[in-house]
Structure 1
Amino acid sequence: MKITIIAGARPNFIKIAPIIKAIEKNQTEGVTIAYRLIHTGQHYDKNLSDTFFEELNIPKPAANLEVKSGTQAEQTAAIMVAFEKEMIANPCDLVLVVGDVNSTMACAIVAKKQNIKVAHVEAGIRSGDMTMPEEINRIVTDSITDYFFTTSTSASENLLQKGVDPLNVHFVGNVMIDTLYQNLNRIVKPVFWKEFDLETKNYIILTLHRPSNVDEEQSLVQLLLGIDNMVGDKKVIFPIHPRTKAILGERELNLKNIVMVAPQGYLNFMFLIKNSFAVITDSGGISEETTVLGIPCFTMRNTTERPETQTIGTNTLVGTSIENLEKHFDAFVNPKSPSKKAAGIPEFWDGKAAERIISILLQK
């Protein structure tokens, strides 16, 4: 079996690492399986791309399509044009896509139009929010996928309700968590730890990149000022996404607690998450990592495609207003607040999801 694996953005790199390890393990055992890794170039900042390949010991991609940025349509179209040429030059038995970025949808479409089977890792998750480009990518990808690998029973149920053949839906667990477990003993204190006088459990991590939170400059500024005022004497480490940084420009905010730093590599970022007091984010994937690490997470969105991080894990949806965030955060830090339920780790988030995926594909 020859598999083409697609990676385009930071979450993809984290998800493909254990899949590649699982393939290589089978190769050492004499199994006939090969892979070709394609980087679409959707993320091209070194700290969002190359660093993850280096830190997670992912082999150099066989090709980088170098599509870079653009509108949703421009980027998707560029990926499709470039990947079609790649597929013609290097045919395969299966294209494996992960997550929900533009690269996922675009490469799935190209593969199916060339009558190549598609496997979707992290299939079936749904937020119900059609204003999110990722939700459209999920729906389109799953509408043409052949083999569905899900992170939760709710994701599997979403697919079954749409009439997907149960024989092709496989609840395998979470490959993001595979990577977390494989690298916990390798996480590294960032160089600015001493510079900012950081102490374990006495700082907060902030990440923001979704259009609903960062696209309008004035509302973004008010959000940052509100968080800066809300956290008391705790520092807030804010690895600022290039998109968010561009919107703020050179504006001087006079923040007393929020410290903006460059995007972090995986090993530094996981060290920061693991040792933090709490996380404020609008990411979906980070709420999975905080759940396993037992770190309280406040997600600034109205919906989530990962409900298990709320029902089982440490995640709390707080909407997109600073007022809602303040209400939930104040309740969290107030010693007189009713104690929260004990958080747990969802089923199959055990570090073996990638092994299950490759084992199943070898039987197809």
Structure 2
Amino acid sequence: MLNITLVAGARPNFMKVAPIIHAIRHRKEAGEPIDYRLVHTGQHYDRKMSGDFFEQLEIPNPDSNLGAGGGSQAEQTAAIMIGFEKELGANRPDVVLVVGDVTSTLACSITSKKLLIPVVHVEGGIRSGDMSMPEEINRIVTDSITDHFFTTSELANENLQKSGVGEDRIHFVGNTMIDTLLHKMDQLTPPSEAYLRNLAPKSYFVLTMHRPANVDEEGKLKAMMEALIAGAGDYPIIFPVHPRTAKVLQKLGIKHERLHYADPLSYLEFNYLVKNAKAVITDSGGITEEASVMNVPCLTLRDNTERPETIALGTNELVGTDPSNLQPYLDRLKTGAWKEYQGIPLWDGKTAVRIVEKLQEIYG
């Protein structure tokens, strides 16, 4: 029996592990000797992560919640490691699977390796080159001790090879986030709020900002919001706001008749808005992937990206963090002169099946 512990610490992590759970269940129901245990570290407390959230992803509630949210990065890392060590002591698997680049990814990888349990990293090898981002440190440290890597792009493969990882440990499989998106595309749901529900397709922008570089400096945030409002023309801007960002925006008093703040939305509601938007403006990495596959123009408010395939083959452009850079991109967008999605290799909805097949081959 192959027993796999799946680790998730934040909402996007669950979207990445959900297809893997489905693939494991399918094989288990077919009589194959495989099972899993889902561990939520509790890194991000999110009131939207209720039973409804897991129902939308068609996965069960986690088998264990370590409740390790809050505190500084060091305190959180330590709390996750202590909790996960106890979890592994009580339920020792054959392999631990971590996804993405959050604190939980790093902490659970270290804990597993010290207990001599193999680690596989889904989304291994991606790099932004920006060491000011906690995620970049998490990626580098996790990949330095990972046993096998499941990668989303050829560039990720090259990054790992350059760091000395043998090709026999690198498995180019695609993107499980896109598995979830393609599986759920027909189930995307209009938001319940009347205004959002009644927006005409391609008549509005969706905005998300959460990175400290964009939202923690009040003057910088104010300048970016003013540039967005001025550059959007007649298009409304729909901004689902993280509570931390909402406090800063309230303090700054940033208001406009075309700027509409919204509470954080569910997965199905948010992607419905993105799919029908004129464009999405974001500092998130994952949203650039989803927008590209849905062929929705995407403007990234960052100076670097760990997902260059969304620029080369997707609909994403790297605008940067200087508000003065924004206008030319918005002008090009409004004239309809934006690039189309070219298709990214293996982002086909079958990534999780490839992952589970390979896990059985390696550890079964």
**Cα deviation, residue 341, structure 1:** 4.5
- Higher mean C-alpha displacement, 321-330 vs 1-10: 321-330
Secondary structure of 1:37's partner?
strand
Q: 2:136 aligned with 1:99, yes or no?
A: no
**Cα deviation, residue 16, structure 1:** 0.6
**Cα deviation, residue 161, structure 1:** 1.0
Partner of 1:73: 74
Q: Residue by residue, what CA displacement relative to the aligned partner does 1:175-208 show, whole Å, maximum 9, x if unpaired?
A: 0000001101111000124467411110110000
Secondary structure of 2:237's partner?
strand
- Higher mean C-alpha displacement, 173-182 vs 243-252: 243-252
CA distance in 1, matches of 2:85, 2:64: 13
Q: 2:57 aligned with 1:56, yes or no?
A: yes
The letter for the 2-side match of 1:110 is T
Q: Answer yes or no: is the 8 Å Cα contact 1:48–1:263 preserved in 2.
A: no
**Cα deviation, residue 54, structure 1:** 2.6
Match of 1:359 among 341, 357, 360: 357
**Cα deviation, residue 252, structure 1:** 2.5
CA distance in 2, matches of 1:110, 1:76: 10
Match of 1:349 among 340, 347, 350: 347
**Cα deviation, residue 355, structure 1:** 0.2
- Higher mean C-alpha displacement, 135-144 vs 324-333: 324-333
Secondary structure of 2:48's partner?
helix
After TM superposition, the score normalised by the length of structure 2 is 0.96
Partner of 1:189: 190
CA distance in 2, matches of 1:156, 1:8: 25
**Cα deviation, residue 334, structure 1:** 3.4
**Cα deviation, residue 52, structure 1:** 2.9
**Cα deviation, residue 47, structure 1:** 1.8
- Higher mean C-alpha displacement, 351-360 vs 245-254: 245-254
Cα 1:345–1:48, aligned 2, differ >3 Å: closer, same or farther?
farther
1:85-234 paired onto structure 2 within 5 Å: 85-194=86-195, 197-234=198-235
Q: Answer yes or no: is the 8 Å Cα contact 2:293–2:341 preserved in 1.
A: no
**Cα deviation, residue 221, structure 1:** 2.1
Cα 1:195–1:318, aligned 2, differ >3 Å: closer, same or farther?
closer
The letter for the 2-side match of 1:356 is R
Cα 1:135–1:195, aligned 2, differ >3 Å: closer, same or farther?
closer
**Cα deviation, residue 75, structure 1:** 1.2
- Higher mean C-alpha displacement, 351-360 vs 86-95: 86-95
- Higher mean C-alpha displacement, 319-328 vs 239-248: 239-248
- Higher mean C-alpha displacement, 62-71 vs 279-288: 62-71
Q: Answer yes or no: is the 8 Å Cα contact 2:191–2:197 preserved in 1.
A: no
- Higher mean C-alpha displacement, 71-80 vs 243-252: 243-252
Partner of 1:261: 262
Q: Answer yes or no: is the 8 Å Cα contact 1:209–1:241 preserved in 2.
A: yes
Secondary structure of 2:179's partner?
helix
CA distance in 2, matches of 1:36, 1:48: 18
Gaps of 5+ in 1: none
- Higher mean C-alpha displacement, 189-198 vs 29-38: 189-198
CA distance in 2, matches of 1:342, 1:225: 28
**Cα deviation, residue 49, structure 1:** 6.2
Partner of 2:303: 302
1:324-339 paired onto structure 2 within 5 Å: 324-334=325-335, 339=337
Q: Residue by residue, what CA displacement relative to the aligned partner does 1:67-125 show, whole Å, maximum 9, x if unpaired?
A: 11222111111111111111111111111000000000100000000000001000000
- Count of aligned pairs between the two proteins: 361
**Cα deviation, residue 242, structure 1:** 2.3
Q: Answer yes or no: is the 8 Å Cα contact 1:9–1:49 preserved in 2.
A: no
Q: Answer yes or no: is the 8 Å Cα contact 2:218–2:252 preserved in 1.
A: no
Secondary structure of 1:305's partner?
coil
CA distance in 1, matches of 2:182, 2:122: 18
CA distance in 1, matches of 2:79, 2:221: 30
After TM superposition, the score normalised by the length of structure 1 is 0.96
**Cα deviation, residue 245, structure 1:** 1.9
Q: Answer yes or no: is the 8 Å Cα contact 1:201–1:275 preserved in 2.
A: yes
Secondary structure of 1:44's partner?
coil
CA distance in 1, matches of 2:324, 2:122: 36
Secondary structure of 1:206's partner?
strand
1:276-295 paired onto structure 2 within 5 Å: 276-295=277-296
The letter for the 2-side match of 1:24 is R
**Cα deviation, residue 165, structure 1:** 1.4
The letter for the 2-side match of 1:183 is K
Task: Return structure 1 stretches of 4+ with deviation > 4 angstroms.
Answer: 48-51
- Higher mean C-alpha displacement, 124-133 vs 193-202: 193-202
CA distance in 1, matches of 2:232, 2:307: 26
The letter for the 1-side match of 2:93 is C
**Cα deviation, residue 61, structure 1:** 0.6
CA distance in 2, matches of 1:345, 1:173: 12
Gaps of 5+ in 2: none
